[in-house]
Amino acid sequence: MEMSNKPKICVISKSFGQYCREALEILKTFSEVEVKSVKEYKEIVDIVKNFDGIIVGNEKINREVINNAVRLKIIARHGVGIDNIDIEAATEKGIVVTYTPQANSDSVAEYAIALILNIMRMIPKLHNLTINGGWNRILGYELMGKTVGIIGFGGIGRRVAKKLGGFDVKILVYDPYVKEDDIRKIGAIPSKLDELLKTSDIVTLHVALTPETKHLINREKLKLMKSTAYLINTSRGAVIDEKALYEALKKKWIAGAALDVFEEEPINPKNPLLTLDNIIVTPHNANFTLEALQRTDLMNAEDLRRFFNGQRPIYVANPQVYVK
């Protein structure tokens, strides 16, 4: 039997190729592709031993996995965040890590605004009341005329600001890594974090999870917020200290919260946040649109094609791997 010289790529991501068959077809033009459903961590440890490239979603690719990757040359993250991949370990081993920045920015930005509107008008609660035979109205609040604080002004934060333009709101932005002039260019106002928290009616989070941003919103910061304010998180769960948030919502330090992400995912059914009535929770769904998934698939496929054709991928998360 003739052996193939094509590289072997394993698709572990649950969504890659599901909504964009074109991406799978691109992979098949230059590689042997296997799609594997992974249920346990130890399966990943075994899988990486036999492939030249892998496409992963939220699966944990830690140092143990990478140390077992005897022939792995590239990890393609099917998504924007790379906090589930040990970048340092991959770089040490010379493994390239790619990702798909901005692919889902519009989807997440739209979802953040949807959560703002839903929590201010308590639409999910009204829906549940109505389908269960109730006809009770709940007093809500207009977004118009409010102050929205955006924490993190990368691709998603900027899009949130732009999309809020038609709502006649005042926009404050905290991001120490963005020039103040760049914030002002879109009509927003640069702000210190504490000042933003004190003055905003809505605070929406759009930062990556780093040691600096873990529990950025803690008990001290929540105490700064208005009692009428709402907190929105579509970034990463650990940016908020959930124990402190539970206390803030329970004691009405703030009016409510809408969360798409959590410190533990899937969320533990016993998480006390689920017992509150001034909260909206969704299952990390902000990026899950057909358009975003298609963009993500094609970005992954193109970078893998470039890599195995001897070219540098476009979206490299660890460019230092190319430094000789």
Residues recognised as catalytic: 236, 265, 284
Q: How many CB atoms lie within 10 A of CB 121?
A: 16
Return the SS3 of 82. coil
DSSP letters, 236-294, are -GGGB-HHHHHHHHHTTSSSEEEES--SSSSPPTT-GGGG-SSEEE-SS-TT--HHHHH
β-partners of residue 240 are 217
Sign of torsion, CA 208 238 110 11? Answer: positive
For residue 205, report the phi and psi dihedrals to the nearest 5 degrees. -100, 130
Say which DSSP state 151 is in: E
Among all chains, which residue has been given the structure tokens 């989807």? Answer: 107
Nearest to 155 by CA among 313, 292, 51, 248: 292
- Taking the C-alpha atoms of residue 222 and residue 216, their distance in angstroms, rounded to an integer, is 10
**Looking up tokens 């006390």, which residue turns up?**
272
* Closest C-alpha to 235, from 273, 208, 211: 208
Q: What is the DSSP letter of 57?
A: S
